[in-house]
Amino acid sequence: MNILNTQTLSNEALQSKLDQAMAKPELTAAGDLRHFIGVEGLSKTQLMAIIEKANGYLTDNAGRPNSIRNSDELEGCTVMNLFFENSTRTRTTFDVAAKRLGASVISIDIAKSSTQKGESLRDTLWNLEAMTADIFVVRHSSSGAAHFMATEVTPNIAIINGGDGWHAHPTQAMLDMLTIYREAPRPFEELTVAIIGDIKHSRVARSDIAALKTLGVKEIRVVAPKTLLPKGIERYGVSVYNDLDSAVVDCDVIIGLRIQNERIGSPLLPSTSEYFKAYGITTERLALAKPDALVMHPGPMNRGVEISSAVADGEQSVILKQVNNGIAVRMAVLALAMQGQRAARSAS
């Protein structure tokens, strides 16, 4: 299936088909990363390898907790950021991560690229490949875009998925897992995690759920108005809540999701004030969770909509640590994927 010749998936039936098509990410014959398309299909051992490698980049230097150790693992390599969809945080952290590994980084201005002048995506990618690129970091509004590139266009370039449509945001999921691994007072197997917000349209929620399930979390709770829950979400092994107060009771980790502005004032969501009243993460609601519960958010945050400032800036918030951990995780993914690509090239 040529995914880029279809419309962005917009219903659960098509999304399910895409899940099946993408259930086995591209790995080497030895089971190592060659591309990083999604967390679905990766084993607990493989996810922990990413977490542990990323954790190894985080050091305590000169009294600066969570500072990041540089490496020369990608020295001589070229990383190209291909962001067909706007992003600030993800693109910046990939840029920083690649440079900390010693790579040359090129960010392509897609708005001015040849694809806007009529050149096909295939031809654009082949031309970029000919410029001795080693890694493409791809963000695209079409679900399955990164998978399409890895399997049908440029299989000899390591493809890292920086977010595709509603489908997946695997590096965000892994930075969330690293944050939980480092900050939660209990192991994954003992944790209850609540994910709050627009579950239906969130690639972060989908990837977080898949990673948490693989890592053996005790319970995953998804919390949203019925209009923002996908049909059949229960098949992913989650507990579904429409009431936030009951959902956060005894939780170890609370993850808020961003509400996109286009949802506000629509039949899906009448107003920001109504949403905050029913689903905002407040100090009162946080008090219902365990005393040492973590508060997380993938950003950018809408204060007073998804989360109160008192919680976002409070002692239990690890939101800024997520950002720092995102650099380490993207370093790990870039390094492991390049290592896998080199092994695959040597074997061919």
Q: Is the pLDDT of residue 1 over 50?
A: no
Structure tokens at 345: 């090239």
The per-residue pLDDT for 188 is 98
According to the annotation, is 203 in a ligand binding site?
yes
- 15 labelled as ligand-binding? no
* Residue 117 labeled ligand binder: yes
Residue 154 annotated as binding site:
no
Provide the residue ranges of all domains of the chain, joining segments of one domain with +. Answer: 23-168+326-343, 170-323
Q: Is 300 annotated as a binding residue?
A: yes
64 marked ligand binding residue: no
| pLDDT of 129 strictly over 60 | yes
pLDDT of 61 over the 70 cut: no
Residue whose tokens read 């979400």: 233
Note whether 197 and 257 are within 8 A (CB): yes
Per the structure block, which two tokens stand in for 330? 């993207």
User: Is there a common fold for 23-168+326-343 and 170-323?
Assistant: yes
pLDDT, one tens digit per residue, over 68-105 is 999 999 999 999 999 988 788 899 999 999 999 999 99
pLDDT at 66 over 80: no
Q: What is the pLDDT of residues 5-36, one digit of tens each?
A: 444 444 555 555 555 544 455 788 788 899 99
Full-prediction pTM beyond 0.85? yes
- Residue 294 to residue 289: CA distance in whole angstroms: 9
Under DSSP, the state recorded for 242 is S
Domain at 23-168+326-343, CATH from 3.40.50.11900, 3.40.50.970, 3.40.50.1370, 2.30.30.30: 3.40.50.1370
pLDDT at 26: 75
Cβ atoms of 179 and 322 closer than 8 Å = yes
169 marked ligand binding residue: yes
What does the buried/exposed string (b/e) look like for 93-108 if buried means 16 or more CB atoms within 10 Å of the residue's CB? bbbbbbebbebbbeeb
SS3 state of residue 164: strand
Residue 291 has phi, psi (to 5 degrees) of -60, -25
pLDDT of residue 6: 40
Instruction: Single out the residue of 251, 146, 141, 246 nearest to residue 201, CA to CA.
Output: 141
Q: Does residue 111 surpass a pLDDT of 90?
A: no
CATH number of this structure's domain 170-323, picked from the four choices 3.40.50.1370, 3.40.630.30, 3.40.50.2000, 1.10.10.10: 3.40.50.1370
State the DSSP H helix or E strand holding residue 100, giving kind and residue range, or none if neither: helix 89-100
Closest CA to 241 of 220, 217, 224, 259: 224
pLDDT number for residue 68:
93
Higher pLDDT, 85 or 265: 85
Name the pLDDT band for 263 (thresholds 50, 70, 90): low
Distance CA(227)–CA(230), nearest Å, equals: 8
Give the Å distances, CA to CA, from 181 to 54, 174, 188, 191.
11, 10, 7, 11
89 annotated ligand binder: yes
User: Secondary structure of the chain: what % helix, strand, coil (to 5)?
Assistant: 45, 20, 40
Across the chain, mean pLDDT equals 88
